[in-house]
Amino acid sequence: MSVFTLSQPEREALLHKELSELTQHHRANSPEYDRILAASGFTSAATVAELPWLPVRLFKNLQLKSIPDDEVFKVLTSSGTTGEVSRIYLDKAAAAAQTRQLGATLQQVLGPRRLPMILVDSKGLLKDRRSFSARGAGVLGMATFGRDHAWALDPDGKPDLDALRSFLDKHGSEPFLIFGFTFLVWLHLYEVAREHGLDLSNGILIHSGGWKKLVDQSVSPEEFRRRFREHTGLTHMHNYYGMVEQIGTVFLEGPSGGSLYCPDFADVIIRNPRTWQEQPVGEPGLIEVVSTLPTSYPGHVLLTEDLGVLDGIDDGDWPGKRFSVLGRLPRAEARGCSDTYREAA
């Protein structure tokens, strides 16, 4: 059953009710969260946009959870660029729900059956404990949605042409799944496929990880799709946006490309970075993500440090809001007396 069904008014009504209940649930079960909301003077929200948002970075500084210690089933971590780590606490129910809902979201473009799958990464990645938490977990999590996996990169991180060829010989004539981080897909799959004339026309590419590195190389999302289409035959491509702090919730690019869409249990609000009010379609701002999945930690209403823009509402491939991610908000840098060390020594 599709999770891309609710029009914006229907979604708002549902999310307003469920997220308001979740807010009360987290207040009752996380003293830290309750103190934050009490200090902010929050009582209730008339709309989804009025719900109190937490900056996503708070999960790097604080231990926020709404379950007792003995019900912690899984602790997810994300490594940030500055070395700080988010810690996300899941109980059994939340862990099951995130897997189930991620599956339901991807089914929208993959269909109900598990497909043969190319992972555009290196198996060696899973052995490296340092990079494991972020990239490895993403790859492993996604691997469960496919079967007969082939790794596109050898243990040294170089393209494994033989592995790709033998996968395509076996599975290339029926639908198959390709997963990887956008930059790696571009660098290691596109280049190799073009050079060696690999036929990816039955592939469905799911990729994430931001466009920044590609934009630095002057490859826009449109260019990415056009070149893949022209040079490899690949036409089904879906970028997605998600974060460990709202694990299980992904915003998926629609079939016509460009915009990201929200599953029925989630939504985005673009906020003006000065007034913090909701931005209309076309006006860029900071992305707030809301989701009913975080039941074990108060991560149901989060302000990201990503900039984005609404492309439209109830006017695209699927119902609801559609949006684009524009980049990251630069990290605030303090001036001050205590800063010689970073380069002193």
Partner 1 sequence: MSMHYRFGEPGFSDDRLAVGDARVLDFLSRFARKLLAPAVARRHPELGSLGYFLRPAELKRTADRMRRDDNTYVFPRGNVFHVPPANVDTIFVYSWALSALAGNHNVVRISTRSAGAADTVLETLNATLPDADPVIARTQKMITYGRDDKLTAEYSAWCDLRVIWGGDSAVEAIRRHPLRPSARDLTFPDRTSWAALSVPGWRAADASSRRNAVAGFSNDAYWFDQAACSSPRTVFLVGGESAQATAVQEEFLTLLAEVVAQRGWVVDAAMAVEKRVNAYGLAAAGAVSAVAFPDNSITSLALSGPGEAPRRWIGAGAFPFAHVGSLTELVPAMNRQDQTFSHFGFAPADLRAFAEALGGRGVDRIVPFGSALTFSAIWDGYDLPHEFTRLTTLET
Q: Quick one: 12 or 305, whose CB is closer to partner 1?
A: 305
Q: Quick one: 256 or 340, whose CB is closer to partner 1?
A: 340
Both structure tokens of 161 = 């042409």
Q: How far apart are CA 270 and CA 139, in angstroms?
A: 29
What φ, ψ does residue 301 adopt, rounded to 5°?
-135, 105
Q: How far apart are CA 85 and CA 63, in angstroms?
A: 11
DSSP element (H, E) containing 150: strand 146-153
Q: Quick one: 35 or 92, whose CB is closer to partner 1?
A: 35
Instruction: Give least dist CB 36 to partner 1, A.
Output: 5
Q: Quick one: 118 or 302, whose CB is closer to partner 1?
A: 302
Place of tokens 């170089």: 158
Which residues contribute to the site for partner 1 (CB under 8 A)?
32-33, 35-36, 38-41, 54-55, 57-58, 61-62, 64, 273-274, 276, 286, 303, 305, 329-332, 334-345
Instruction: Give least dist CB 56 to partner 1, A.
Output: 9
Instruction: Give least dist CB 29 to partner 1, A.
Output: 14
Instruction: Give least dist CB 214 to partner 1, A.
Output: 23
Q: Quick one: 55 or 136, whose CB is closer to partner 1?
A: 55
- CA end-to-end distance (rounded Å), the chain: 59
Q: Quick one: 191 or 339, whose CB is closer to partner 1?
A: 339
How many CA atoms within 13 Å lie on the side-chain side of 74?
16
Closest CA to 200 of 152, 241, 234, 164: 234
Q: How far apart are CA 139 and CA 120, in angstroms?
A: 9
Q: Quick one: 55 or 255, whose CB is closer to partner 1?
A: 55
Using CA atoms, how far residue 171 sits from 111, 140, 145, 175, 300, in Å, is: 16, 21, 16, 8, 40
Instruction: Give least dist CB 180 to partner 1, A.
Output: 30
Q: Quick one: 37 or 310, whose CB is closer to partner 1?
A: 37
Query: Rounded to the nearest 10 degrees, what angle do helices 31-40 and 8-29 cross at?
Result: 110
Instruction: Give least dist CB 334 to partner 1, A.
Output: 4
Instruction: Give least dist CB 74 to partner 1, A.
Output: 22
DSSP, collapsed to helix, strand or coil, labels residue 342 as coil
φ/ψ region of 210 (left if φ > 0, alpha if ψ in -120 to 50, else beta) reads left
Q: What is the DSSP letter of 51?
A: S
Instruction: Give least dist CB 12 to partner 1, A.
Output: 25
